[in-house]
């Protein structure tokens, strides 16, 4: 009973409010990074599929269509394969960067959760619906 009484008497200081706000902002950024990561992983799979299609098309034609932005250009098979490989490398680097950012934000959230739960106990709910 004394512990719950102590929890309900905890005063929210300016620093506590800053930490709560930082938690919310960091969580929002984390969700954005997760969405961007899923999109990049899908893009990488599409690049691999395109690369497989080029391998099957080898010998059928000297030129193949290759999309750059919204425009289709004709490239030789070798040029298209080189462009796909470069795009895959760039995409993988972006995926790696997003994974690092995601992990860094998860670490920040865990530190903030620890500090805020230590002070407010059950009077604060920082559990996220998406805990992946």
Query: pLDDT for 91-123, tens place per residue?
Result: 999 999 999 999 999 999 999 999 999 989 888
Share above pLDDT 70 across residues of the chain, in percent, rounded to a whole number: 86
Q: What is the pLDDT of residue 88?
A: 97
Q: What is the pLDDT of residue 124?
A: 87
Residues 55, 76, 87: CA angle, nearest 5 degrees: 65
The residue ranges of the chain whose pLDDT is under 50 are 1-7, 132
Q: What is the pLDDT of residue 8?
A: 56
With tokens 């010998």, the residue in question is 59
Residue 11: DSSP 8-state: -
pTM attached to this predicted model: 0.80
Phi/psi of residue 10, nearest 5 degrees: -65, 125
């Amino acid at each position: 009973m004394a512990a719950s009484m102590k929890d309900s008497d905890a005063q929210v200081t300016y620093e506590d409010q800053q930490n709560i706000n930082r938690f919310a902002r960091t969580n929002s950024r984390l969700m954005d990074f997760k969405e961007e990561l899923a999109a990049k992983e899908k893009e990488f799979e599409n690049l691999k599929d395109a690369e497989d299609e080029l391998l099957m098309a080898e010998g059928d034609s000297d030129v193949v269509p290759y999309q750059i932005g919204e425009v289709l250009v004709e490239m030789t098979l070798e040029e298209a394969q080189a462009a796909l490989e470069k795009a895959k490398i760039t995409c993988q680097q972006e995926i790696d960067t997003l994974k690092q950012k995601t992990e860094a934000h998860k670490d920040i959230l865990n530190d903030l959760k620890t500090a805020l739960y230590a002070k407010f106990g059950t009077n604060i709910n920082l559990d996220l619906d998406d805990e992946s």
